[in-house]
């Protein structure tokens, strides 16, 4: 398959924004159970601003990610703004300034994003956060790419792993973020951030599949 081009990366962000818009109330209900009922609104506000920013076309993937990251940090109050913002801000330099990203570079940039989230939020696996969806997703992505799968197919595997990771947050007791204030009472609820992260990975799979085999 062709390298992931700037159009596809923009489509990824637009697709994610559309999923967030569609799932806004569901994300907010999840956050109502173990947080402060704003995750849907936060992500919707942030991703709408990111999409607005695309009206000035970015020059390259690094600029796209930097712009998206800064917009999220600026427009989203709450934990998820800085965390998603950091994710994209860390992806930017990992693209090495390339005009299009080969699968390994895309995977490496995503990994750099995850490392940024972990550095900033200090969440470990099992803390019931977005990290619990993103980590298995990127592990599945790397595994599929190493075994020679196409990026489209590897991202489908990543998306399935993100969904599983999201589902696995339900029984967890939160150890980071607002949900951790509930202690044991946070168990039995799916984590909102892991839920939006599964949408992020699914959107990447969709956007890359749409680029086709070109």
How many residues are given for the chain? 214
Q: Which of 15, 38, 158, 204 binds Mg ion (CB under 5 A)?
A: 38
Q: Which 3 state secondary structure label does DSSP give 101?
A: strand
Give the end-to-end CA distance of the chain in Å, rounded to a whole number: 6
Note whether 194 and 166 are within 8 A (CB): yes
Which residues have a Cβ under 8 Å from the Cβ of 127 and sit 6 or more positions away?
Answer: 172, 174, 175, 176, 180
Q: Pick from 25, 36, 52, 210 the residue near Mg ion by CB under 5 A.
A: 36
Q: Return the range that interacts with Mg ion (CB under 5 A); candidates 37-45, 47-55, 105-113, 136-144.
A: 37-45
CA distance 134 to 120: 15
Q: How far is the CB of 75 from ligand ADP (least distance, A)?
A: 12
Q: Is 61 in the site for ligand ADP (CB under 6 A)?
A: no
Regarding 163 and contact with ligand ADP (CB under 6 A), the answer is no
Q: Which of 4, 20, 107, 131 binds ligand ADP (CB under 6 A)?
A: 131
Give me the residues that bind ligand ADP (CB under 6 A), please. 31, 35-36, 38-39, 42, 78-80, 83, 117, 121-123, 129-131, 176-178, 191-194
């Amino acid at each position: 398959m062709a390298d992931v081009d700037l159009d596809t990366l923009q489509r990824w962000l637009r697709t994610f924004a559309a999923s967030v818009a569609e799932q806004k109330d569901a994300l907010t209900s999840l956050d109502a159970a173990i947080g402060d009922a704003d995750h849907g609104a936060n992500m919707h506000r942030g991703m709408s601003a990111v999409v607005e920013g695309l009206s000035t076309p970015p020059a390259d993937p690094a600029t796209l990610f930097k712009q998206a990251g800064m917009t999220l940090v600026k427009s989203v109050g709450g934990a998820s703004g800085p965390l998603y913002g950091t994710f994209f801000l860390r992806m930017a330099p990992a693209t090495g300034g390339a005009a299009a990203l080969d699968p390994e570079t895309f995977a490496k940039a995503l990994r750099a994003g995850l490392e940024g989230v972990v550095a900033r939020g200090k969440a470990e696996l099992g803390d019931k956060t977005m990290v619990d969806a993103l980590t298995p997703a990127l592990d599945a992505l790397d595994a599929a790419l190493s075994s020679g799968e196409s990026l489209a197919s590897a991202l489908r595997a990543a998306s399935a792993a993100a969904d599983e990771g999201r589902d696995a947050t339900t029984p967890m007791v939160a150890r980071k973020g607002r949900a951790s204030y509930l202690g044991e009472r946070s168990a039995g609820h799916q984590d909102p951030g892991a839920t939006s992260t599964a949408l992020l990975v699914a959107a990447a799979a969709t956007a890359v599949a749409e680029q086709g085999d070109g």
